[in-house]
């Protein structure tokens, strides 16, 4: 049972709202998330969320920001891997794993529900995640700034994640898909392509 609105003090209502929004997102998807339902789940008045968020879009942007921070932390906590190709493969696998663990949050972060340019904090943290990928590619010998290569690498991992979440190989090719094997294979093919471009 959630506490009543009187039990919240300044500072933890915001997190409670984020938690409730994430619960609703996981339960029913982005289209079902609404401020009134979030307030109901937290146990506060319908007006209470607006003390912290101007509108639903602002709350969702904050939720997506938390997702990018978690993804950034997952990259940061990868075991120390000195060999750049092994680190690249581990990053790709971590991205696919994150999508599998947080499917609805991942769809919010990378879907078209939010315009990141309207939310500077969200844009900043998403760019930091992308910069992490660029740094990994620079360590592979790609010429700076490695933007196109990073975009191609992201597209590769993103495609695997989307295929895994949507079960597209299972549905269309009648294949039992192991996302870990697929992302490892895709990463090795991508790295072989990079070597051939040097």
The arithmetic mean of pLDDT across residues 180-192, rounded, is 94
Instruction: Give the pLDDT band (50/70/90) at residue 172.
Output: low
More confident: 175 or 153: 153
Strand locations in 17-141, DSSP E? Answer: none
For 3-40, what is each residue's pLDDT tens digit? Answer: 444 445 545 899 999 999 999 999 998 988 999 999 99
CA distance 110 to 30: 12
Is the pLDDT at 47 greater than 80, yes or no? yes
Mean per-residue pLDDT of the chain: 89
> Which residue ranges form the domains of the chain, and what is each CATH number?
1-53 (1.10.10), 55-197 (1.10.357.10)
Check residue 177 and report its DSSP letter: -
Residue 174 has a pLDDT of 63
Residue 3 has a pLDDT of 45
For 125-149, what is each residue's pLDDT tens digit? Answer: 999 999 999 999 999 999 999 999 9
Would you call 113 exposed, middle or buried from its count of C-beta atoms within 10 A (0-12, 13-18, 19+)?
A: middle
Residue 24 has a pLDDT of 94
For 71-108, what is each residue's pLDDT tens digit? Answer: 999 999 888 888 999 999 999 999 999 999 999 999 99
Residue 57 has a pLDDT of 95
Residue 123 has a pLDDT of 93
Instruction: Give the pLDDT band (50/70/90) at residue 193.
Output: very high
């Amino acid at each position: 049972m959630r506490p009543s609105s009187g039990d919240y003090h300044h500072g933890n209502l915001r997190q409670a709202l984020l938690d409730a929004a994430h619960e609703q997102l996981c339960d029913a998807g982005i289209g079902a998330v609404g401020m009134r339902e979030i307030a109901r789940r937290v146990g506060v008045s319908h007006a209470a969320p607006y003390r912290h968020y101007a509108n639903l879009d602002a709350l969702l942007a904050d939720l997506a920001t938390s997702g990018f921070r978690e993804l950034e932390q997952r990259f940061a906590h990868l075991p120390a891997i000195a060999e750049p190709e092994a680190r690249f493969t581990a990053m790709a696998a971590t991205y696919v794993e994150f999508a599998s663990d947080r499917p609805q949050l991942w769809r919010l972060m990378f879907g078209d529900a939010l315009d990141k340019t309207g939310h500077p904090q969200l844009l900043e943290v998403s760019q930091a995640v992308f910069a992490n990928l660029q740094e990994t590619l620079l360590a592979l010998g790609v010429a700076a700034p490695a933007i196109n290569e990073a975009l191609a690498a992201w597209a590769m991992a993103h495609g695997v994640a989307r295929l895994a979440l949507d079960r597209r190989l299972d549905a269309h090719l009648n294949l039992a898909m192991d996302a870990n094997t697929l992302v490892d294979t895709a990463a090795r093919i991508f790295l072989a392509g990079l070597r051939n471009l040097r």
